[in-house]
A and B are shown apart, each in its own frame.
Chain A
Amino acid sequence: MERFQKIAVPLLAIAVFLALWEFVVWINGWPPYKMAAPSDLPAAFIRFQDQFIGMGWQTLWRTVLGLALAVVFGTLLGMVMGFSRVARDALYPLLVGFNAVPKATLVPVIALIFIGQHDFNTVLMAFLISFFPIAVSVGIGLSTLEPEYRDILAALGASKLTIFRKIALPKTLPEFFGALKVSVTLAFIGTNLVEIVSPHGKGLGALFLSGQINSDYPLMFAVLIALAVLGILLYYGVVALERIFAGWAEREAQ
C-alpha cells in the first residue's frame, strides 16, 4: 500500500499538471505556434525520436562527467579547507567570489578560450558551476568533526588518511549528498547553458535551438519536457546513491 502510494501520488500529480496545461491552452484557443499543448508533444517526440535519444545521451554524459569532475575536485578542495585553517581562510573568499559570478557570463569567455571545443566547453561549464556546494559541504563537514571522533583513532596512532577514510568521510556523507543534489541540478543547467548558446552544438540544448530557429514550438516544448525528465532521472540517480552509501543517516519515520 505504502509503495503503491509512493508511486501513484507523484504520477497523479503529473497527470493533473498535464491536464491543466492542456485545458489552459484549449480554453484560450492558443495555436501551436504560440503555445504547444501536451497533446501536440507525442507527435514531436516521434518525429524527432532519433534526435531525442542521441542528443539526450550527449546532454547526459557531459553532465555526468562534469559532475564527476566536480565531485573529485570539490572533495579534494573540501579536504584541504577542512584540514587546514590557513587554507580555509585563504580559499573561502576566492571561492565565494567565484561562485557569485553568474555563470552565463562565463559561457562566451570559455567559448573564446577553447574555440570549437564543444564537448570540452560543455563539460567544463558543468564542472565549474557545480563544484562549489560540494567543496563547501565537505570542508564544513570535516572542520566541524567533533575532536572525540578523531581521537578514538588518533589515540591509537592511526594516520590522518585512515581517520579520514574510516570516520571523517563517512560522517560527512549525508552533507555531501545534500550538496550533490544541488550540484547535479547545477551541472545540468551548466551543460544546457553551453548547448543552447553554442552554434552547431550538440545535446538537448542544441535541439531546442533548432526548434527555435525553425519556429517548431511543439519541438521546443518537447525538449523542455525531455529536459525535465532527464533532470528528474539525474536527481533520483543521486538519491539512489545516497540510499546506498548514506542510508544509515535516514531516520525511521515517526
Chain B
Amino acid sequence: MQNLIDIKGVTHAYRTRHGALPVLDNLDISVPQGEFCAVVGPSGCGKSTLTRLISGLMKPNAGEVWLSGEKITSPRKTVGMAFQNPVLLEWRTIIENVVLPLEIVAPSMPKAQANDRAMHLLEMVGLKGFESKRPSELSGGMRQRASLCRAIVHKPEVLIMDEPFGALDNFTREDLWQTMRDLRAAEPFTAVLITHDLRESVFLGDQVVVLSGRPARTQYVLNVDLPHDRTIDILYEKEAVGMLHVLREQIRIAQGRDGGTDGGAH
C-alpha cells in the first residue's frame, strides 16, 4: 500500500542565542493511507516541531516530508490541525468556528452547505444544540470536541493533532478517545496524534512511534494489531497491557534511564 505520509530522514535544528539546538535527527516515519499514527516521546524532544514540519508550517534543515506523493514545502489545504488549546475564536459561535477552514479552503461553498457539513460533525461529537453558543459557554471537553470538528470540516487527507486531550481530566479524555474512534470510522483522514498518554496511543493508534530524547530519532515502532472498533475495556486485556509494558520500557530508554529505576537513580 502507498504511504500517505512519508517522513524521510528529517533533521531540524532551531537557531537560538546559544547556537544551534538540534531537535530532530534523521527521523523516519511512514503512515499508510487511512491509518492512525500515535507519536510518544519525552517532553521537549521535538514532537510539536514534528507537527509543524508535517503541516508545512516549517521546512526541515534536511530530509523530506511527503504527503500523498507530493513533497511538502509549504502549507496546503488538505491538512487539518488540532492543539492542546482548542483555540476557538471567542467572537464566533461554535458553528461559525467549525466552518472557519471552509472559508479558506472552499470560499465559494454556499453557506448553507458549509453549515450542513458543520452540523453533521457537531452531531457526531455530541454537540447538537450547542451550535449557536459562544466558546466560553462550553466546558473544556466540549470545546475540544468543537476544535476536532473544525480540524476535519474540510475533509483533510491528514489530521495532525498535538496533544489534543492533554488538558482534560481522565474520564473526559476517555470519552473523547471514543469520539475520535467514531470520527475515524466515519471520515477518511489519515492521522498523526502526538500524545503523552501511552493508553491513548494504544487505544487510538494503528502504530505507535516512540521518539528518543532530544534530538529525536525514531527509537521504536509498535504495531497495534487490535481491531478498529476498540472499547476502553480492551486496554485492560492481556494484549494491550503487554504493549503498554513495552512502550513504558521504551519511554524509560528514551528518557536516558535504565529499565526499572524510573528516575530514582539520580
Interface residues, chain A, CB within 8 Å of chain B? 146, 148-149, 151-158, 162, 166-167, 170-171, 173, 246, 248-249, 251
The interface-forming segment of B101-109, B115-123, B199-207, B212-220 is B101-109
Most B Cβ at <10 Å: residue of A158, A171, A249: A158
Residues in A whose Cβ lies below 8 Å from that of B80: 155
Q: Closest CB-CB distance, A149 to chain B, in whole Å?
A: 6
Given contacts A248-B90, A248-B91, contact A146 B75 (CB under 8 A): no
Is the pair B89, A155 in contact by a Cβ cutoff of 8 Å?
Answer: no
Is the pair A152, B87 in contact by a Cβ cutoff of 8 Å?
Answer: yes
Q: Closest CB-CB distance, A221 to chain B, in whole Å?
A: 44
Within 8 A of A (CB), among B83-98: 83, 85, 87, 89-91
Picked from B75, B85, B90, B136, the residue with its CB within 8 Å of the CB of A155 is B75
Interface residues, chain B, CB within 8 Å of chain A? 52, 55-57, 74-77, 79-81, 83, 85, 87, 89-91, 100-101, 103-105, 134, 136, 150, 154, 160
Is the pair B104, A153 in contact by a Cβ cutoff of 8 Å?
Answer: yes
The residue in chain B whose Cβ has the minimal distance to the Cβ of A173 is: B91
Given contacts A151-B57, A166-B100, contact A157 B76 (CB under 8 A): yes
Given contacts A156-B75, A157-B75, A157-B76, contact A162 B104 (CB under 8 A): yes
Given contacts A151-B57, A151-B81, contact A156 B89 (CB under 8 A): no
Q: Closest CB-CB distance, B167 to chain A, in whole Å?
A: 13
The residue in chain B whose Cβ has the minimal distance to the Cβ of A149 is: B87
Q: List 30 A-B contacts (CB under 8 A).
A: A146-B85, A146-B87, A148-B85, A149-B87, A149-B89, A151-B55, A151-B57, A151-B81, A153-B101, A155-B56, A155-B57, A155-B75, A155-B81, A156-B104, A156-B105, A157-B76, A157-B77, A157-B104, A158-B104, A162-B104, A166-B100, A167-B89, A170-B91, A171-B89, A173-B91, A246-B91, A248-B91, A248-B134, A249-B91, A251-B136
Residues in A whose Cβ lies below 8 Å from that of B81: 151-152, 155
Residues in B whose Cβ lies below 8 Å from that of A173: 91
Residues in B whose Cβ lies below 8 Å from that of A154: 57, 75
Closest 9 CB pairs of A and B: A248-B91, A157-B75, A155-B55, A148-B87, A155-B81, A156-B104, A158-B104, A148-B83, A170-B91
Given contacts A154-B75, A158-B104, contact A249 B85 (CB under 8 A): no
Q: Closest CB-CB distance, B5 to chain A, in whole Å?
A: 15
Is the pair B79, A155 in contact by a Cβ cutoff of 8 Å?
Answer: yes
Residues in B whose Cβ lies below 8 Å from that of A170: 89, 91
The residue in chain B whose Cβ has the minimal distance to the Cβ of A251 is: B136
A246 to B89 CA separation, bound complex (whole angstroms): 12
Sample of 13 further A-B pairs with CB below 8 A, known A146-B87, A156-B105: A152-B81, A152-B101, A153-B100, A153-B101, A154-B57, A155-B56, A155-B75, A156-B104, A166-B100, A170-B91, A246-B91, A249-B90, A251-B136
Q: Closest CB-CB distance, A241 to chain B, in whole Å?
A: 15
A167 to B92 CA separation, bound complex (whole angstroms): 10
Residues in B whose Cβ lies below 8 Å from that of A158: 104
A119 to B20 CA separation, bound complex (whole angstroms): 57
A178 to B234 CA separation, bound complex (whole angstroms): 54
